[in-house]
Chain A
Amino acid sequence: MVKGFRSIAGVAALSTLALGATPAMAATEVVWWHAMEGSLGDKVNEIADGFNQSQSDYVVKPVYKGTYSENLTSTIAAFRAGNAPAITQVYEVGTATMMNARGAIYPVYQLMADTDQPFDPAAYLPAVTGYYSTTDGNMLSLPFNSSTPVVYYNRDLFEKAGLNPDTPPTTWEEMAEAGKKIVDSGAASCGFTTTWPSWIQLENFAARQNIPFASEQNGFGGPSARLTFNKSEAVIKHVQDLIDWQKSGVFAYGGREDQASPRFFSGNCAMLMASSASYASVRDNTKNFEFGVAPLPWDPDVIDQPKNSIIGGASLWVLKGQEDAVYQGVAKFFNYLSSPKVQADWHQFTGYLPITDKAYALTREQHFYEENPGTEIALKQMTSGTPSDNSRGLRLGNMPQIRDVIEEELERALNGDKSAQQALDDAATRGNELLEQFERSVS
């Protein structure tokens, strides 16, 4: 009768079953739980196969465990039952949860040192690894699939509206002007729409404009961080702009996650703010028009030079409780995964960012960016300038729920229930309750 109870017990029971049968093999098995489905999942298997064939001591075994949150929940349940995998993929918003589980995780920098594997932190792109490192630069988890938001625009609709498709808008003001022209000329019924509303319109807006999203260096300083975005005039103005643009058609809200994409594919909206990793999906769904890629807009009234945008995606965490031989295998595999060849291939195939300078250079040498225009925009946007405390990323506990809260309040502002200020204040208050709760649970 009571489903709530069952689901909690069920998760524990299922994950125990899944791990129960481990065949005995000569090579040491390294289990890797991930959340990559479809062609990404195939690519993960391909990477593991490549590693397995490159040597004979270790066998990496990837297991697809559902969505990011399902994988995290399964990992935790398995850990509690003493059956955790060696490697698990955790989304960026779960970073604080993992990081604070000190008894459960094996930090990557420490693993590399303990296993005497060659490891040079300077080889990695700081804008990508910063999200997953301590404030003094020690890498806790290995970035695997990282992306950053960019703007995809419909070149055909730009021409129809009398806009130059070679000079897409770069600032929010230009964005509004372009949107207005698109709507007024009847080229499309909406200027732009956005996927992942909190990530792109708040988290990245704050980073790019160098505005603190939360105290304690956006949470990097410790779990006592509290949300501060509602104190920024620029953030309030941006939400107010979205409300006004929603009314005039410059902007159309299309839902959470990537629910807004069809509005762009169908020609309903002329521009789409989405992850750089959506490149392949955008290419496949826009056969009937030409599209272009542009950087995420910024506001010159707030900052002279925009900061880097922040990443999304996931990283690989190593869990405690395995034998030493397994950790040797994990370290070898991480080295293989970071090699320029594997990284460049993964980057080019998926649109996720490469994690090392060498992989970036290799992709350039292979003329990939010339042959696929727009694919380098995200990298340039990420690597311009040094990340600041406000653009290194977010490390907030209960972040998946905080994102839900922010998106709820944004929706309430956009449908006219609340003012921009009120919605942001409420989002911060509710989010701070979650942060307090997190702080209590880890202290």
Chain B
Amino acid sequence: MAPQLLIVLVFFFWPAITALRQSLYVQDAFGLGETFAGLANFTRVLASQSYHEALFNTAIFSVSVALGAMGIALLLATMADRVLRASRVYRTLLIWPYAVAPAAAGVLWMFMFDPTLGVLSRALAALGVHWDFRLNGHQAMALVIIAAIWQQMSYNFVFFLAGLQGIPASLLEAAAIDGAGPWRRFWTITFPLISPTSFFLLVMNTIYAFFDTFGTIDTTTSGGPGGATRTLVYKLYQDGIVGLDLGGSAAQSVLLMLMVGLLTLVQFRYVERRVQYH
């Protein structure tokens, strides 16, 4: 068998099938006994209010992170593309955050925004903003979104920059001679030409926001306060690893896989139609 297939089999299919099986059973943590529960785990998860809240949080979080990280990255890439001197230095600095481990990045932001000791919360206090993300759910959500965007922005930046550099200069120059301003040039030439990159990044950013933000959330807010920053993947961790509710967390992981599969399908079906490959 091809080695890559073997890897997929061991690291994806085998655990996926185990999870699927586990989601149909109620089991004690030590595995001393189990009873078949049918779809009871699923109905319990789907009926629980905290699951609905986590779903809502995930929607807010993912949309904000995907749009924020892509928007800022595109802006920076457009500007970096025009820099003539020391462009390498700028680019290196902008790519840097991607090399920081999510947990380290989370701790970094947590310290800067710490309600009593943080540099930024003192600055906010001077502006008259009462910053306390340990109690204020909206502020906590804003904090994890900022931290996640900061992490993902660099990744997007690299792809956007490469996309921008692939656009022939002659096209833009011709448009400029015809009297098109920078804004118009961007929307009628640049943006359609980088649409394949944007689409790829949309899919990647959604997956990032859904799965790879665990470390960031864990180190900044741990899902709190009052569950305000508990996303689906964080809830899965809390119920499965901390709470040892194996059946329930297996059901959640099956649901999560369905959701992301569906989302990717929708993106390919509807968003990709607008993408112009060249």
A contact residues vs B (CB 8 Å cutoff) = 1-9, 11, 69-70, 72-73, 76, 79-80, 97, 100-104, 253-256, 259, 262-263, 266, 268, 398, 400-401, 404, 407-409, 411-412, 414-415, 417, 430, 433-434, 437, 440-442
Contact = CB atoms under 8 A, between A and B. Distances in A.
Contacts of B16: 2, 5
Interface of B: 11-12, 14-16, 18-19, 26-32, 44, 48-50, 114-117, 134-137, 207, 211-212, 214, 222, 224-227, 233, 236-245, 248-250, 252-253, 256-257, 260
Given A8-B240, A104-B32, A433-B48, A259 B134 contact: yes
29 contacts: A2-B12, A2-B16, A2-B260, A4-B236, A4-B252, A4-B257, A5-B15, A5-B18, A7-B240, A8-B18, A9-B14, A11-B241, A70-B241, A73-B242, A97-B29, A104-B30, A104-B32, A255-B134, A262-B114, A266-B116, A401-B238, A407-B224, A408-B225, A408-B226, A411-B135, A412-B225, A415-B225, A415-B226, A417-B226
A370 B92 CA distance: 60
Contacts of A433: 48
A93 B117 CA distance: 31
A9 B241 CA distance: 11
A11 B50 CA distance: 25
Given A255-B134, A408-B225, 12 more contacts: A2-B211, A3-B211, A4-B240, A4-B252, A5-B253, A6-B15, A7-B237, A101-B28, A255-B225, A263-B116, A415-B225, A430-B49
B189 to A, nearest CB: 34
B217 to A, nearest CB: 13
A441 B30 contact: no
Given A408-B226, A433-B48, A441 B11 contact: no
A97 B11 CA distance: 30
Nearest to A412: B226
Contact of A73 (B135, B136, B244, B248): B244
Nearest to A417: B226
A2 B257 contact: yes
Most chain A CB inside 10 Å of its own CB: which residue of B26, B27, B30, B241: B30
Contacts of B245: 398, 401, 437
B116 A253 contact: no
A414 B135 contact: yes
B167 to A, nearest CB: 31
Contact of B226 (A70, A262, A411): A411
Nearest to B137: A415
Most chain B CB inside 10 Å of its own CB: which residue of A73, A97, A262, A408: A408
Nearest to B19: A5
B3 to A, nearest CB: 18
Contacts of B243: 398, 400-401, 434
B31 A80 contact: yes
A268 B116 contact: yes
A8 B244 contact: no
Contacts of B14: 9
B67 to A, nearest CB: 22
A259 B134 CA distance: 9
Most chain B CB inside 10 Å of its own CB: which residue of A5, A97, A398, A407: A5
B132 to A, nearest CB: 8
Contacts of A256: 222, 224
A404 B233 contact: no
Most chain A CB inside 10 Å of its own CB: which residue of B28, B134, B207, B256: B28
A442 B237 CA distance: 22
A407 B224 CA distance: 9
Given A76-B244, A404-B238, A411-B224, A6 B30 contact: no
Contacts of B224: 255-256, 407-408, 411
Nearest to B110: A259
Contact of B117 (A1, A76, A266, A415): A266
B239 to A, nearest CB: 7
Nearest to A190: B116
Contacts of A411: 135, 224-226
Contacts of B256: 2, 4
A253 B226 contact: no
Given A9-B14, A256-B222, A398-B243, A3 B233 contact: yes
Given A253-B134, A401-B239, A412-B226, A101 B32 contact: yes
A246 B241 CA distance: 33
Most chain B CB inside 10 Å of its own CB: which residue of A7, A69, A79, A263: A7
Contacts of A268: 116
B12 A254 contact: no
B30 A79 contact: yes
Contacts of A1: 12, 207, 211, 260
Contacts of A3: 211-212, 214, 233
Contacts of A7: 237, 240-241
Contacts of B242: 69, 73, 400-401, 404
Contacts of A441: 26-29
B15 A9 contact: yes
Contact of B32 (A103, A404, A417): A103
A79 B244 CA distance: 14
Nearest to A75: B30
Contacts of A408: 224-227
A97 B244 contact: yes
Contacts of B31: 76, 79-80
Contact of A6 (B11, B49, B207, B249): B11
B187 to A, nearest CB: 33
Contacts of B30: 76, 79-80, 101, 103-104
B117 A4 contact: no
Contact of B19 (A8, A70, A412, A414): A8
Most chain B CB inside 10 Å of its own CB: which residue of A401, A414, A415: A415
Nearest to B248: A437
A407 B245 CA distance: 19
A179 B9 CA distance: 61
A401 B32 CA distance: 21
A409 B226 contact: yes
A408 B14 CA distance: 35
B90 to A, nearest CB: 33
A440 B27 CA distance: 9
A266 B253 CA distance: 42
A7 B212 CA distance: 12
